[in-house]
């Protein structure tokens, strides 16, 4: 790291609230799946802003949507609407295969989408919520109440009461936890922050059956797994279920902040009436036009198939390395974790960065990738080719 980066990081430490710790790099610009730091060093971005840069950096469709919209109207308030907002809502409903009477509420982030879902659940008249151990749903206080990790929760107790946590994958435990006081069960089809841990399709279907029988809502948090990330538009679509609500953010805007709550069917869409919820920026023309360009490009460029093929290729090649530090590869499409046999992910991620690859040590024994959906096989092969050396070095220093 040169003086340029070091001086900037010192200024960061003096000016930016320290909740993220010291950043690893000061980034300057990106192009496709590559980013450059202020010292001119190039990295293959296999994290994509944590599943946000669905089309990579500087994609012409995103650049053109942002600049065109900036030249028209950036913001109009929710007293008014725009063509882009309407078209985006319609498109999301089509991709979600949502029944007639479904609707979209736009937000600016994942945590806000979860807050909207909590308010939706409250409108059932039932105060209870059920979430899964290992869950991550966001940092605002409602979403935090649904987030399992003690280190995130405890400093802010007491949180929203009435949240029960059950072990993921345990159908009997879920059945026992859901009763007539449960407003909603909230779950991620793949628990991203827990280390990319997929729920079985049978569990998703059981969760649907259990919530329906109890009169509770099923909310699927697709903030990390949605928008084509797993090779499907939304990961719950691998199961034969229609949820009551779905939360989105991250990849939807390709880097421009936007999130959404999708309510399925007229009963759910009718739960929040005029005045009961709102946001200043949610669904503004800049975010909506950009999100439309992202969805359009994913469709026309066939990026669901690319995500699936490149993700399968990656998993197959990593396993075929037969390295003693690799236990297995989890996840779908381009949301993957290499599960390690020893807690050395931070060492691997640091040396990967030195070698020009950005990956994420999501758990002590797991390395996550969530790259742009247009990553090529040639690009991912660069990382897989470097992996044995990185793992060998980590083994020695462990
Ligand atoms: N839900 C899931 C599944 C997430 O992965 C995240 C962020 O990582 C969130 C919610 C919170 O989203 P945001 O950071 O945009 O508030």
For ligand 1, atom 10, the nearest C-alpha belongs to: 137
**Checking DSSP bridges between strand 128-132 and strand 163-166, what pairing results, if any?**
parallel
Per the prediction, the chain carries an average pLDDT of: 98
Q: How much is the pLDDT for 280?
A: 98
The catalytically annotated residue of 106, 136, 234, 383 is 136
* The two structure tokens encoding residue 384: 């897989």
Q: What is the DSSP letter of 331?
A: E
Residue 35, helix vs strand vs coil: strand
Mutate to test the pocket of ligand 1, among 108, 115, 136 (most ligand atoms within 8 A of CB): 136
> What is the spatial distance between Cα 8 and Cα 13, in angstroms, rounded to a whole number?
9
17-62 pLDDT per residue, tens: 999 999 999 999 999 999 999 999 999 999 999 999 999 999 999 9
The structure tokens 């259990």 sit at: 210
210-257 pLDDT per residue, tens: 999 999 999 999 999 999 999 999 999 999 999 999 999 999 999 999
CB 138 near ligand 1, within 6 Å: yes
For ligand 1, atom 15, the nearest C-alpha belongs to: 110
CB 110 near ligand 1, within 6 Å: yes
> Are the C-beta atoms of 58 and 43 separated by less than 8 Å?
no
> Taking 90 as the threshold, does the pLDDT of residue 180 lie above it?
yes
DSSP 255-298: TB--EEEEEPHHHHHTSS-TTSS--SSTT-HHHHHHHHHHHHHH
The catalytically annotated residue of 221, 235, 244, 365 is 221
CB 224 near ligand 1, within 6 Å: yes
- Cα 12 to middle of ligand 1, angstroms: 24
> What is the spatial distance between Cα 9 and Cα 135, in angstroms, rounded to a whole number?
31
For the chain, the structural domain boundaries read 63-300, 302-340+350-398
Q: How much is the pLDDT for 70?
A: 97
> What is the spatial distance between Cα 294 and Cα 228, in angstroms, rounded to a whole number?
11
113-134 pLDDT per residue, tens: 999 999 999 999 999 999 999 9
Q: What is the DSSP letter of 199?
A: P
> Are the C-beta atoms of 271 and 120 separated by less than 8 Å?
yes
Active site residue 136: yes
* Element spanning 367, H or E: strand 366-369
What's the predicted TM-score (pTM) here? 0.98
For ligand 1, atom 13, the nearest C-alpha belongs to: 110
Q: How much is the pLDDT for 113?
A: 99
* Angle in degrees, 0-180, between the axes of helices 303-320 and 377-397, rounded to the nearest 10: 40
CB 109 near ligand 1, within 6 Å: yes
- Cα 110 to middle of ligand 1, angstroms: 5
- Cα 364 to middle of ligand 1, angstroms: 20
Closest ligand 1 atom number to CA of residue 257:
15
Q: How much is the pLDDT for 329?
A: 98
Give me the torsion for CA of 198, 204, 206, 207, rounded to 10°: 110
> What is the spatial distance between Cα 165 and Cα 187, in angstroms, rounded to a whole number?
11
> What is the spatial distance between Cα 359 and Cα 367, in angstroms, rounded to a whole number?
7
The structure tokens 């975010």 sit at: 287
**CA within 13 Å, CB half, 361:** 17
Domain 63-300 architecture: 3-Layer(aba) Sandwich (3.40)
> What is the spatial distance between Cα 226 and Cα 314, in angstroms, rounded to a whole number?
20
CB 257 near ligand 1, within 6 Å: no
Q: Which CATH class is domain 302-340+350-398?
A: alpha beta
CB 115 near ligand 1, within 6 Å: no
> Are the C-beta atoms of 95 and 233 separated by less than 8 Å?
yes
How confident is the model over 141-170, as a mean pLDDT? 98
Q: How much is the pLDDT for 251?
A: 98
* Element spanning 9, H or E: helix 3-15
């Amino acid at each position: 790291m040169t003086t340029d980066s070091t001086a900037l990081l010192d200024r960061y430490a003096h000016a930016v609230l320290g909740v993220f710790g010291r950043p690893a790099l000061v980034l300057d610009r990106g192009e496709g799946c590559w980013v450059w730091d202020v010292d001119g060093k190039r990295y293959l971005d296999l994290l994509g802003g944590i599943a946000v840069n669905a089309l990579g950096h500087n994609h012409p469709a995103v650049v053109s949507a942002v600049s065109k919209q900036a030249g028209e109207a950036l913001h109009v308030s929710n007293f008014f609407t725009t063509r882009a907002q309407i078209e985006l809502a319609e498109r999301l409903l089509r991709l979600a295969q949502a029944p007639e009477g479904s609707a979209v509420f736009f937000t600016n982030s994942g945590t806000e989408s979860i807050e909207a879902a909590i308010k939706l659940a409250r409108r059932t008249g039932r105060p209870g919520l059920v979430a899964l151990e290992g869950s991550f749903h966001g940092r605002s206080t409602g979403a935090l109440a649904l987030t399992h990790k003690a280190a995130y929760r405890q400093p802010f107790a007491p949180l929203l009461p009435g949240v029960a946590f059950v072990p993921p994958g345990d159908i009997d435990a879920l059945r026992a936890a859901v009763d007539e006081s449960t407003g909603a069960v909230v779950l991620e089809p793949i628990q991203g922050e827990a280390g990319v841990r997929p729920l079985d399709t049978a569990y998703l279907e059981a969760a649907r059956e259990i919530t329906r029988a109890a009169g509770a809502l099923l909310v699927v948090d697709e903030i990390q797994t949605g928008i084509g990330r797993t090779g499907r538009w939304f990961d719950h679509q691998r199961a034969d279920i229609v949820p009551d609500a779905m939360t989105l953010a991250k990849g939807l805007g390709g880097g421009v902040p936007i999130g959404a709550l999708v309510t399925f069917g007229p009963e759910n869409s009718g739960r929040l009436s005029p005045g009961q919820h709102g946001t200043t920026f949610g669904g503004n023309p800049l975010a909506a036009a950009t999100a439309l360009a992202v969805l359009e490009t994913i469709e026309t460029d066939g990026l669901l198939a690319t995500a699936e093929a490149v993700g399968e290729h990656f998993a197959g090649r990593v396993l075929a390395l037969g390295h003693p530090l690799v236990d297995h590869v989890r996840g779908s499409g381009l949301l993957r974790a290499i599960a390690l046999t020893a807690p050395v992910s931070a060492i691997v991620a640091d040396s990967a960065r030195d070698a020009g690859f950005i990956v994420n040590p999501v758990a002590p024994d797991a390395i996550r990738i969530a790259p742009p959906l247009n990553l090529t096989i040639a690009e991912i092969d660069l990382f897989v080719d470097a992996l044995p050396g990185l793992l060998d070095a980590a083994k020695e220093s462990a």
